[in-house]
Amino acid sequence: MTTIGVDPGANGAIALIDERGNAHAHKMPDTLQDLFELLNSYSVGCDGNCRAYLEQVHSSPQMGVKSAFTFGNGFGHLEMALTAAGIPFERVRPQVWQKAMGCMTKGDKNVSKRRSQELFPSIKVTHAIADALLIASYGAKQ
């Protein structure tokens, strides 16, 4: 089964691990059309044998009203794009996938980047794609 990991947000990413264990990731697409086209290509490529894991995130009190609205709107776009592409998905809390992947970050992105580099040495891991790769890896183990 092909597994897709989604780290929401403008600085997030979408990663895919296919049934042979090959992985690749893309930074979050800039437009709704690009988002749908990427997820739809994943759906077509896995011939319906895929599942996505979407990080279940919330706005925080530190966010302004506009930022919180934009963030929530983007999360809804991801849910709709997955649905429109015919990709079943489930939401997973950060604490759950981080614990399972051995990288409790406590907000330090270097922790997840380091762990992604250990698991995916052939990929140029950046802060942008590290969490998505780990979420996909978590999902592949489910």
For the whole model, what pTM was predicted?
A: 0.93
Does position 59 have pLDDT exceeding 90, yes or no?
no
Domain coverage including residue 7: 2-140
61 or 137, which is more confident? 137
Does position 2 have pLDDT exceeding 80, yes or no?
yes
Give the CATH number of the domain where residue 68 resides.
3.30.420.10
From residue 123, alpha-carbon distances to 19, 23, 39, 41, 116 in Å are 17, 8, 20, 21, 9
Question: Tokens 């279940």, residue?
Answer: 56
The 10 Å Cβ neighbour count of residue 22 is: 10
Residue range 48-65: mean pLDDT, rounded: 85
Cβ contact 14:1 at 8 Å: no
Q: What is the pLDDT of residues 20-51, one digit of tens each?
A: 999 999 999 999 999 999 999 999 988 889 99
Q: How many domains does the chain contain in total?
A: 1
From residue 107, alpha-carbon distances to 10, 13, 98, 122, 132 in Å are 17, 17, 11, 25, 15
